[in-house]
């Protein structure tokens, strides 16, 4: 019972982008508006580039970030931080299956089982709570994060 690292990495990437973001959604650490690259993320968080690659791609498909191929390519947030709800990010990256498995192996009690509904409702309460937060909430200590990200590598 734990979120996948995949999901975790996705959230870290969004946080990183959130700290870089200027008015135009580009990296602000450079006047040229350089984009953030997978390489930069990997160096900052010390992660495998292959994995980050996939997560970035996924975030792109979700239209949470915009990716640019080719030289000087990279990616940046496609929405304002306060429009990126945590429940959505986690549900999508994590996958949204029921938290309890009634088939595989099939449970004979299924037709009279009250449990699956209770767990499903609990799951929804978890996500309802996450729905109250956005990426902006993760950036409260933005200055400190910027400092961490700029010195890490």
Partner DNA sequence: TTATAATATGCATTATTCATGTATCTTTGT
Partner DNA sequence: ACAAAGATACATGAATAATGCATATTATAA
Residues in the site for its own copies, rule: CB under 8 A? 1-5, 8, 11-12, 15, 44-47, 86, 94-95, 97-101, 105-109, 111-115, 118-119, 121-123, 125-127, 129-130, 133, 137-141, 144-145, 148-149, 152
Task: List all residues 6 or more positions away from 99 whose beta carbon is below 8 Å from its beta carbon.
Answer: 119, 120, 122, 123
70 or 111: CB nearest its own copies: 111
* Alpha-carbon span 21 to 35, nearest angstrom: 10
Number of residues located near DNA, criterion CB under 7 A: 27
Could you tell me the smallest distance in angstroms from the CB atom of residue 60 to DNA? 5
Window 94-123: contact mask with DNA (x via CB under 7 A): -----------x------------------
4 or 121: CB nearest DNA: 4
Find the DSSP H helices in the chain. 5-20, 38-45, 49-61, 86-94, 115-131, 135-138, 142-151
Binding of residue 92 to DNA (CB under 7 A): no
Binding of residue 140 to DNA (CB under 7 A): no
How many C-beta atoms surround the C-beta of residue 6 within 10 A? 15
Q: Of these partners, DNA, its own copies, none, which one is at the site of residue 46 (CB under 5 to 8 Å by kind)?
A: its own copies
Task: List all residues 6 or more positions away from 133 whose beta carbon is below 8 Å from its beta carbon.
Answer: 85, 86
């Amino acid at each position: 019972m734990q979120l996948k690292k995949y999901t975790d990495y996705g959230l870290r990437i969004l946080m990183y982008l959130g700290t870089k973001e200027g008015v135009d959604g580009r990296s602000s650490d450079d006047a040229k508006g350089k984009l953030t690259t997978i390489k930069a993320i990997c160096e900052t968080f010390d992660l495998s580039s292959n994995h980050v690659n996939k997560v970035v791609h996924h975030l792109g498909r979700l239209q949470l970030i915009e990716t640019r191929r080719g030289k000087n390519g990279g990616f940046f947030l496609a929405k304002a931080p306060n429009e990126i709800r945590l429940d959505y990010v986690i549900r999508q990256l994590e996958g949204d299956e029921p938290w309890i498995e009634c088939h595989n192996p099939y449970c004979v009690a299924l037709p009279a089982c009250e449990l699956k509904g209770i767990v499903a409702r609990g799951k929804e309460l978890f996500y309802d709570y996450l729905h109250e937060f956005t990426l902006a909430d993760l950036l409260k200590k933005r200055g400190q994060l910027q400092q961490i990200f700029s010195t890490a590598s």
